Chain A
Amino acid sequence: MKWARKIHKWASLIVSLQFLIWLGTGLYFNLMDHHKAAGYTYKAEHSPAPAWHELSLLEPADVLAQHEASATLTLISLANKPYYLLNHQRGLYAHFANLYSLIDATNGQAITVDAEFARVLAQTSYSGPGAVASTTLMQPPIADFLKQQNPLWQVNFADEINTSVYIEAQSGRLVGHSDEHKRLADFFLKLHFMDYANTGSFNNVLMMFFAIAALGLCGSGLIWTIVLARRGFVRRSPG
């Protein structure tokens, strides 16, 4: 019992403030508007896929033959125009490092998503009142989307929640929206995960150390509670 109290005291000295943060941020996740926290405030509906058979598309065999070898070719629609997306180096997930070519499916031209194109793509995904304020090409790590490992266009809109729409530079893929709601939720997640180095992950040494301290605090507290309960809460614990 004596050592449980000792552990409880010293572990609480290390971890108690962080405990307030864990509980406070946990409470925030419990209460927050999940739709807003995901950056969906000004997210436009998906536009339906075009009727592919009505378009005159180049044959994939010809397109593939003219470019670096590809693992996949996908027919996609960007701003209502058809493109072939060739994946040369596949990441296990879209947000892992990938190597793409984007090809105009009607004339075979290789497309680079420039600021202008990124703006157009961002606008098709945006349903808010703001106009485009700025467009920046960003290299990872990118604060609003720390898990993304590919360069992204950040298209900023002038609205009351500072919406930024992210478009993947190689593929034109919409990565997502971020705004003040999402940034606040991200900030609380960062506090909850003790991710003070901005890695976008909770697998960090500081977190592990505090987790052990929290285990010590809660474990010793549980033992203390059990001991007190067995005494029937009759005897008052000393000083």
Chain B
Amino acid sequence: MMAITQIRKTSRKYHKWLMTLLALQFVVWSVTGTYMVFFDIHYIHGDTLVNNRQDKIDPQQLTYPLHNVLQRYPKAKDISLGLYLEQVVYRFSLGPDNIMLDARTGQRIAALSRQQAAVAAKFYYAGNGEVASIELLTEHAPFELNPKALPAWRVNFTDLGDPAIYVSAETGLLVAKRHNFWRLFDWMFRFHVMDHNDGKDIDNLLLFLCSVLGLISTMFGLVLLYFSLSRPKRALRAKP
């Protein structure tokens, strides 16, 4: 009987002290976890922000042969044919640069202007809002854009969640779609894995310590739950 009382006392003591230390992180885990599971991940990814148009290449428009492209740019890699708005284009990479050529004439298409970026973003965007602002990103990518996608135009729209459509300045391709629900999710994830910088280092020491102590504390909590559930019975029995 003494031993059981001791187990209970010890469990309560350690559960209490460990959780005093960890309470905030446990709240953070449950709040961030709840946010992440309640929002559909495809919605978070911004899949509903874009229309994923299926426009097809008209081979008639393709009068500049690939042969000529390869003679002009023998080091071209990642070669593809597709559309830029309604125009058939070659796209390829050349060292660090991405090149776009008009597939009718072979003429190189210059980097997108601010106005062209707005047109392209509206072409990809599925919402009804207006363009709120446009910004060219060349050196530093914001946290929501892969630096590999630079240079890119960020086109912000006036809709729920402040959506941003990112269009490559070189290729005119859609490179990212973000809204506040994604931004919040990313923030939540970083707090969930306790990497308060960029969420990439899930193997950080802080998370390790909190998980280990949290596990121990939860086991003590389970002991307390057992006693809490079995108490009424014993209380009944103890009555004269």
Residue of B30, B67, B76, B225 with most partner-chain A CB within 10 A: B30
Q: B214 contacts which chain A residues (CB < 8 A)? A: 23
B65 touches A69 (CB 8 A): no
B54 touches A53 (CB 8 A): no
CA distance A63 to B223 in the complex (A): 70
Q: B176 contacts which chain A residues (CB < 8 A)? A: none
Confirm or deny: B127 has a beta carbon within 8 angstroms of a beta carbon on chain A.
no
A222 touches B212 (CB 8 A): no
Q: B26 contacts which chain A residues (CB < 8 A)? A: 218, 221-222
A229 touches B57 (CB 8 A): no
Q: B229 contacts which chain A residues (CB < 8 A)? A: 13
Confirm or deny: A1 has a beta carbon within 8 angstroms of a beta carbon on chain B.
no
Q: Mark A196-239, 1 if CB is under 8 A from B, else 0.
A: 00000111100110011011011101100100110001000101
B62 touches A61 (CB 8 A): yes
From the candidates A59, A64, A89, name the one contacting B57 in the complex (CB within 8 A): A64
A69 touches B56 (CB 8 A): yes
> How far apart are A50's CB and chain B's nearest CB, in angstroms?
10
CA distance A60 to B76 in the complex (A): 16
CA distance A51 to B76 in the complex (A): 9
CA distance A20 to B216 in the complex (A): 9
Q: B62 contacts which chain A residues (CB < 8 A)? A: 60-61, 64
Confirm or deny: B24 has a beta carbon within 8 angstroms of a beta carbon on chain A.
yes
Interface 9-mer from B105-113, B145-153, B162-170, B201-209: B201-209
From the candidates A23, A29, A34, A201, name the one contacting B218 in the complex (CB within 8 A): A23
From the candidates A64, A90, A201, name the one contacting B41 in the complex (CB within 8 A): A201
> How far apart are A85's CB and chain B's nearest CB, in angstroms?
9
Interface 9-mer from A71-79, A156-164, A171-179: A71-79
Chain A at the B interface: SS class = helix
A-B contact count (CB 8 A): 158
Q: What is the size category of the interface that chain B forms with chain A?
A: 35 or more
Q: A29-B202, A53-B70, A73-B82 are in contact. Are A90 and B54 (CB under 8 A)?
A: yes
A207 touches B222 (CB 8 A): no
Q: A91 contacts which chain B residues (CB < 8 A)? A: 52
Confirm or deny: B199 has a beta carbon within 8 angstroms of a beta carbon on chain A.
no
CA distance A213 to B135 in the complex (A): 43
B225 touches A16 (CB 8 A): yes
Q: Mark B56-81, 1 if CB is under 8 A from A, else 0.
A: 11010011011100110010111111
Residues of B near any A CB (own CB < 8 A): 12, 16, 19-20, 23-24, 26-27, 29-31, 33-34, 36-41, 47, 50, 52, 54-57, 59, 62-63, 65-67, 70-71, 74, 76-83, 193, 202-204, 207-208, 211-212, 214-215, 218-219, 221-222, 225, 228-229, 231
Instruction: Give me 14 A-to-B residue pairs in the complex whose CB atoms sit less than 8 angstroms apart, sorted by A's number.
Output: A12-B222, A13-B225, A23-B211, A29-B193, A31-B203, A52-B77, A52-B79, A57-B67, A60-B66, A61-B65, A72-B57, A202-B41, A207-B37, A211-B38
